[in-house]
A and B are shown apart, each in its own frame.
Chain A
Amino acid sequence: MSGAPALEVDLQVTVGRGASVFTVEARFSLPAGVLVLFGPSGAGKTVTLRAIAGLIRPKRGSVRLAGEALDDGMRGVHVPAERRRIGYVPQDQALFPHLDVLGNVVFGLPRAERKKPGPATLALLDELGLSALRGARVDALSGGERQRVALARALAAEPRLLLLDEPLSALDRAARFSIGRSLREALARRSLPAVLVTHDAEEAAAFGDVFVQFERGKPARELPREVVLGEKGPCPHCGKP
């Protein structure tokens, strides 16, 4: 391992066309752990996440993962999404409706592994509590189960970084708690750095090591946790200050 931070981002991304063009500027760095992109909707959090995934090409700036340049406007570097090994769990999970739970989880694996899932896949299903659901249709799943499948699908491809867009926001309280715990454990077990988008202060506090605040029309800034969270006190889930 080099001493480089897990993720370094210094971006200017322009999205939209015609009258609805807007530009997002973000600059932050994550030594390790979970970085939280925090702020109201429409402030550019998801755009930033998609740029890190390589799905949008930034107008200028750079994205570095463990020191490796994935985007570098100055040198014309833009590694395509399929070669970044960055897992992405979008807000609506985007499960493949033509495949069952197992088909979704193994989607990013080589053909042999898709035909006959090996021990790593079975262990992953077990880890996320999906073993009993492996043959289920994804449109028959609850919100929490969908989130678990999306998480398993991203983890199965052994990403170097995980991007999560509002992973808990659509869930009820019980599901938030159990998925939140599975997620934290999954990241810790793999020492996997993650970027998590949320507009929820409680969720931010529960996960974050580093906080970046997004506001409409302003460049996103890295801020101390107390400032971002408005000095909310300890998190009710994990007891972190």
Chain B
Amino acid sequence: MESSTSFPILLSLRVAGLALLFVGPIGLAIALLQARVRYRLRGLVDALVLLPLVLPPSVVGYFLVVVFGRRGLLGRMLEEGLGVRLVFSPAGAALASAVVALPILVKTAQPSIEAVPSRLEDVARTLGLRPWEVVFRVTLPLAWRGVLAALVLGFARAIGEFGATLMLAGNIPGRTNTMPVEIFSAFQEGDDARAGLYVIVLSGISVVVVLVAGLLGPKEGRAPA
């Protein structure tokens, strides 16, 4: 099992997918909040969202271990309450990926939400739509390009996560050896062919992502669907 070539590829896809499922709604909610609401702690939230982008991944990983580790406050609650253990588990890898994907998700989605004229949202409210209905029937349909680009870039960032994943989920063959982690260990062992395979797969995914994000990027004169 652990020596299977396809395992790290499938695991990485699963981990990044799970991370996106978790961080996608949170990231979009933060992007909406930051784009549309003027509140006192807005600057602080902005800084916190950017933090995983600036902090070294190993430092992010360290913080995650402190909070979600077996002796961490949330880690203990999750383990005792729900029987979920994040350290050395694929779920931990997904959490680490989710955290490092958050900044790119929020920062890509936010400008496209800001570009939706708020006058349209105002009119929708006078027509009887509650704020959440306005989000789903006006804001997101008009900002879909930026939102989709944000999700695609977030997925790419999640699938490539190495440092924080290694700290929280470790490198357990057949369990938490995602592609980036596997590249590192194969390279250490001198197995260049094995490392090269995952390098090619991850590079391919990245090229596709960059192309798709480019297609979704801001168009001349903002032409929604």
Contact = CB atoms under 8 A, between A and B. Distances in A.
B122 A88 contact: yes
Interface residues of B, number: 20
A83 B133 CA distance: 13
Interface string A30-55: 00000000000000000000100111
Instruction: Find the residue from B38, B117, B120 having the highest chain A CB count within 10 A.
Output: B120
Interface string B99-132: 0000000000000000001011011111111110
Given A82-B130, A97-B142, A98-B141, A90 B119 contact: yes
> What's the dominant secondary structure at chain A's contact region?
loop
Given A97-B224, A98-B225, A87 B142 contact: no
Nearest to B123: A94
A96 B120 contact: yes
Contacts of A50: 122
Contacts of A17: 38
A94 B120 contact: yes
Given A96-B138, A97-B224, A98-B225, A88 B117 contact: no
Interface in A96-113: 96-98, 107-108
A146 to B, nearest CB: 13
B126 A94 contact: no
A54 B224 CA distance: 28
Contact of A157 (B119, B127, B130, B137): B127
A197 interface: no
A90 B124 CA distance: 12
A80 B138 contact: no
B142 A98 contact: yes
A92 interface: yes
B120 A55 contact: no
B126 A53 contact: yes
12 contacts: A54-B126, A81-B126, A82-B130, A86-B126, A88-B123, A90-B122, A96-B138, A97-B142, A98-B141, A98-B224, A107-B137, A108-B124
**Which 6 residue pairs of A and B lie closest in terms of their CB atoms, listed nearest first?**
A108-B127, A88-B126, A81-B125, A94-B119, A94-B123, A82-B125
Interface of B: 38, 117, 119-120, 122-131, 137-138, 141-142, 224-225
